[in-house]
A and B are shown apart, each in its own frame.
Chain A
Amino acid sequence: MLSTVNATCIRGRFLIFWPFFVSLSIINLSREGSTPGEVTQLLVDVRAGDQSALNKLLPLVYDELRKIASSYLSQERSGHTIQTSDLVHEAYLRLAEADVSWQNRAHFFGIAARSMRQILVDYARRRNAEKRGGGMTRVSLSESVLVLDEDFSRLLMLDDALRRLEQVDARLCKVVELRYFSGLTVGETAEVLSVSSRTVENDWNLAKAWLFRTMSS
């Protein structure tokens, strides 16, 4: 009988910390999937024009972003808001921490920005499909933040317009991805794209005007 008591004591240990193990295992998983050296090599290959390297890198980055996001969220810090820029920067640190060459960094951010756009748009598309036929429904999230249907629609329209913009001027599209979907500053964007800040500002405004005109026509 008394041994039951002891068992209870042991069972009681650390019980409140269990979600920690969960998030820890997520981080470990992401480390298992790829090593910084591997990512660096892929980045070099991408720069050398290797399309298959890009195809390998994209899902890596895509997964990493999601994993980082869920590890952020599983901490459930009250009042903590998640920013795409945090995700992208952290993904870079995780996937390519050993690699500091700015060319690779630029490439990485370009890819991460594209992934980020993809993640958001994929989600919006799925939600939009689910909601089709309904009125204006709100999606209530555990963080008590609301996303409205019109947010999804607007995002999908923007994505469509961006696709067309890319045909006209690929750099403008990149600026939008980096600034809007990845939250980089003008300076960071300029660094990634190897252009001046003024150019980034010009591109940003031109893209904005162009996209608005396209979306409202």
Chain B
Amino acid sequence: MNQELWHRVRGVFGEAYRLPADDRTAYLDKACGGDGELRSEVASLLAALEKADGVFQPLPQGLISTATRGASPDTRIGSPLGSYRIVRKIGSGGMGEVYEAVRDDGKFQRRVAVKFVRSALSRGEMIRRFEAERSLLASLQHTNIAQLVDAGTDDDAMPYLIMEFVDGKRIDEYCDEHQLSITERLRLFQAVCSAVRFAHQHLVVHRDIKPGNILVAADGTPKLLDFGIAKLLSEDGTPDERTRTGLGFLTPDYASPEQLRGEPATTVSDVYALGMLLYKLLTGQKPYEFHSALPFDMSRTILDTEPTRPSDKPIAIAAAGSSADRIRRTLNGDIDAIALMALRKEPERRYQSVQDLSDDIGRYLSHRPVAARKGEARYRAGKFIRRNRTASIAAVIVTLALIGGIGGVLWQAKRAGNERDIARLEEKKAKRINEFLQQMIAESDVNWYNHGTGPEATAVDILNAASDRLESDLQDEPAVKAELHMTIGNTYLALGRAEKAVHHFAASLLLRRQSSAADNHALMESEYYLAGAYLHLSSSDTSVMDSAERYYKGVIDNLSRPTERGDIYLPYAYQDYAGMLFRMGRLAEAESAIVRALPLFLERYGEAHVATAGCYGDLGHIAELSGDSVQAERCYRRAFDDVMKFAGRSEENVLESVESLARCLINRGGLDEADSLIKECLATGTPPAPTERVHLARLLCCKARIQTLRGDLRGADQTLAHAKAGLEGLSGGEIERMSVRELIAVEEGRMLIGRGAYSEARRVLLKARSGVKENQDRYDHISTSCDVLLASLPGTGPGDVRGSGRRSTPAPGGAGESR
């Protein structure tokens, strides 16, 4: 077609297509005159236009994104990688590219996923980390974990991971596609939990659990991808500003508040991420309302606002046969509590392990009361207290009792039977307990708030009032009453009123024994607490110990039945019972109780937990007192390792385990190792909380002892002054229980002997020994140490030391300032 003709076609067409179809023929006749070629061309184009809509169909979204992203030809496809051959690309994202590869060695074909990892880390650093983590990650062999097969670097030194190939769908999409019910979703979620728990037992924290990292295979098996990968790629010591420079960083959707604050991710952070996942699976939504997509704003929202209850969210999931309303009703209550407990901002207030979370879901599924409901009330109480810091302790305690009591009642009611009855029961009980507490507050003179004789005394007054009232009240509600007895008993115990606590726990036990509703766990709770309260009684009467022993044995016998398998009070009863036996000097029995507790804790918490560390520590003490310092050292090392591996450890746990190990090392002559251990521990330099200060003082005693033994008497003196200063302002139970002042005196005596100040040393040591006696001589080795040191003083006759305390060799007791 020549240019001139085309020009005319364009002109005529431009007018004609705008006309209504009926007017076009007339227009063409006029505009084309006799030019047949022009006319037929325009007519043909006009006819084509009528049908031409398909030409400019919108470009497919996926085409735009993949085409623009992967525009340069992918040279990896088809190329070999070790013994694998890359087949196709399966995806790519911020982390890097993922390919499918096959290994074909004639006999069988293996499909794997190869992930080439992009990171701001240098390749050398990444390779180093890969080498370090590889065996750990490769050891994660679990049905629900996509296994790491291998790792390496390609010809360009680009690091890659080879993982089990998972042919599946994202978990949230899978659930909707198969229209899984809430129950089915919960079971699927539990399978995911089992994988995470398994990894935690192998000391691997996922750090990046999200729906995109969980694929469900066609047979319904979920598989977690990328275990430990986030850690491999995390930045070390990168300056703050880079995280805040604006656009482009990962949306923090699933990250826990502590991760957002830049704190280390722990197993409990994974609990949080699982909570987010659970929320998403059950509601199709996220728990927060974001007002902006800026990561910074999102972080603020996550850190500052409370998540919405799942049942208050618009439900956006597809479950067969369930309307949104029905789903919401299902979620209301237990599931709300479980999800919110997993999502708590404070790591220490969440479920402490994935097992706990999964167990609670199990309880829900088997229609048993969930722990989160109980925790919920206490948690709210805690929030209340933190909001009202200025209120007196008394007010706080009353509030605690009030909220804790109600929570307990609701929890209790849940056990009773079918839902309608529960609803009625809950309403009734809540009403009763409200009445009770209101009257209690009204009757306890309102002046408590302003004119107490001291905050603690006032709190006890109020508790006394509550206690008196409870005796005559709630006769018709034994379950409520039993629960309130537990609450009040615990409060008394916390205030050091053990005799009152014994009374209330016993009352609770009695009521629960009489109850027709069989709830063995609750019964054992009362009995276990009662035994513990007996041990806190200051009476040294043997009948007290007998009572404690009787109740511990009761709990142990009851819970050792196969039907009660897994009850958490069993290992704790063993452990506490062992502590009691230890104090009574029945070391062999104590040891056998600990040996029974240990596997139960291991089963429950996995490898490293503060509870298992406690068991090893106890075994260490027993070995130490039995004179087996080799075994003691082994146990203390294990305890220390467990504490350090346990993500939820407290500073107190660390101090305690370091002190035991250091003390044992000193006794065995390992001064250098003990010294460096103590130095490292003290170097952390955070201001200690009151309970930590007691442990810190004990650790400083170890330090002083090393200094004395090395002849640095000045240093020892300073260290002990430091230890004493740390105890200033502290009073009561913990110091006495740990015999800290006496321990300091022993070291002072040792230091003074080194100086040759014998009379001063004698005065200090004698005082320490009598102090230990006042503390019921629970720390027998301290008086033994006093005796040994006193005996070493010049001019000391046998009569000056207690009993036949003069020993030629200081071991074991004399050497060990052990518990």
**Cβ-defined contact, A69 with B44, below 8 A:** no
**Cβ-defined contact, B71 with A208, below 8 A:** no
Known: A2-B681, A16-B260, A142-B93. A73 touches B250 (CB 8 A): no
Question: Once the chains are docked, how many angstroms separate the CA of A78 from the CA of B254?
Answer: 13
**Cβ-defined contact, B235 with A13, below 8 A:** yes
Chain A residue nearest to B238 (CB atoms) is A14
Q: Which residues in B have their C-beta under 8 angstroms from that of A16?
A: 207-208, 230, 250, 252, 255, 259-260
A-B contact pairs, 12 of them (CB 8 A): A1-B680, A12-B259, A13-B236, A16-B250, A22-B118, A74-B93, A74-B248, A120-B59, A202-B17, A206-B13, A209-B49, A212-B55
Question: Once the chains are docked, how many angstroms separate the CA of A69 from the CA of B658?
Answer: 54
Q: Which residues in B have their C-beta under 8 angstroms from that of A77?
A: 251, 293
Q: Which residues in B have their C-beta under 8 angstroms from that of A9?
A: 263-264
A41 within 8 A of B: no
Q: Which residues in A have their C-beta under 8 angstroms from that of B543?
A: none
Question: Once the chains are docked, how many angstroms separate the CA of A65 from the CA of B69?
Answer: 9
**Cβ-defined contact, A24 with B242, below 8 A:** yes
B803 within 8 A of A: no
B45, B255, B265: the one contacting A210 at CB < 8 Å is: B45
A205 within 8 A of B: yes
B79 within 8 A of A: no
Question: Once the chains are docked, how many angstroms separate the CA of A68 from the CA of B247?
Answer: 13
Known: A69-B69, A142-B93, A212-B48. A206 touches B684 (CB 8 A): no
Interface string of B1-25 (1 = CB under 8 A from A): 1000010001001100100000000
**Cβ-defined contact, B55 with A123, below 8 A:** no
**Which of A50-58, A92-100, A143-151, A186-194 has 4 or more CB atoms under 8 Å from chain B?**
A143-151
Interface string of A1-32 (1 = CB under 8 A from B): 11111101111111111111111110100000
Interface string of A90-119 (1 = CB under 8 A from B): 000000000000000000000000000001
Residues of B with Cβ closer than 8 Å to A? 1, 6, 10, 13-14, 17, 44-46, 48-49, 51-52, 54-57, 59-73, 91-95, 118-120, 173, 207-208, 230-231, 233-238, 242-243, 245, 247-252, 255, 259-260, 262-265, 293, 295, 640, 644, 654, 658, 677, 680-681, 683-684
Shortest distance in angstroms between A163's beta carbon and chain B's nearest beta carbon? 15
Chain A residue nearest to B678 (CB atoms) is A2
Q: Which residues in B have their C-beta under 8 angstroms from that of A206?
A: 10, 13-14, 17, 45
A10, A23, A144: the one contacting B248 at CB < 8 Å is: A23
**Cβ-defined contact, A209 with B46, below 8 A:** yes
Kindly count the residue-residue contacts between A and B in the assembled complex, taking CB atoms under 8 Å apart.
Answer: 243
**Cβ-defined contact, A1 with B640, below 8 A:** yes
Q: Which residues in B have their C-beta under 8 angstroms from that of A21?
A: 119-120, 235, 238, 242
A48 within 8 A of B: no
**Cβ-defined contact, A20 with B68, below 8 A:** no
**Cβ-defined contact, A2 with B683, below 8 A:** yes
B1, B61, B247, B644: the one contacting A81 at CB < 8 Å is: B61
B14, B92, B249, B658: the one contacting A142 at CB < 8 Å is: B92
Known: A2-B683, A2-B684, A206-B10. A14 touches B251 (CB 8 A): no
Most chain A CB within a 10 A radius of its CB, from B51, B55, B243, B654: B55
Q: Which residues in B have their C-beta under 8 angstroms from that of A1?
A: 640, 644, 677, 680
Question: Once the chains are docked, how many angstroms separate the CA of A204 from the CA of B55?
Answer: 11
Chain A residue nearest to B98 (CB atoms) is A142
**Cβ-defined contact, A2 with B680, below 8 A:** yes
Shortest distance in angstroms between B396's beta carbon and chain A's nearest beta carbon? 33
Which 9 A-B pairs give the minimum distances between C-beta atoms? Answer: A20-B249, A12-B264, A19-B94, A15-B234, A69-B68, A145-B62, A123-B67, A212-B52, A21-B120
**Cβ-defined contact, A208 with B243, below 8 A:** no
Q: Interface of chain A, helix or strand or loop or mixed?
A: helix
Known: A206-B14, A208-B56. A143 touches B61 (CB 8 A): yes
**Cβ-defined contact, B250 with A18, below 8 A:** yes
Shortest distance in angstroms between B168's beta carbon and chain A's nearest beta carbon? 12
**Cβ-defined contact, B248 with A20, below 8 A:** yes
Shortest distance in angstroms between A199's beta carbon and chain B's nearest beta carbon? 8
Question: Once the chains are docked, how many angstroms separate the CA of A68 from the CA of B248?
Answer: 11
Shortest distance in angstroms between A166's beta carbon and chain B's nearest beta carbon? 13
Shortest distance in angstroms between A30's beta carbon and chain B's nearest beta carbon? 13
Q: Which residues in A have their C-beta under 8 angstroms from that of B71?
A: 62, 66, 119, 122-123
**Cβ-defined contact, A151 with B249, below 8 A:** no
Shortest distance in angstroms between A168's beta carbon and chain B's nearest beta carbon? 6
Question: Once the chains are docked, how many angstroms separate the CA of A12 from the CA of B54?
Answer: 53
Shortest distance in angstroms between A173's beta carbon and chain B's nearest beta carbon? 13
Chain B residue nearest to A1 (CB atoms) is B644
Question: Once the chains are docked, how many angstroms separate the CA of A75 from the CA of B251?
Answer: 7
Q: Which residues in A have their C-beta under 8 angstroms from that of B658?
A: 2
A184 within 8 A of B: no
**Cβ-defined contact, A10 with B65, below 8 A:** no
A15, A68, A81, A180: the one contacting B265 at CB < 8 Å is: A15
Chain B residue nearest to A21 (CB atoms) is B120
**Cβ-defined contact, A124 with B63, below 8 A:** yes
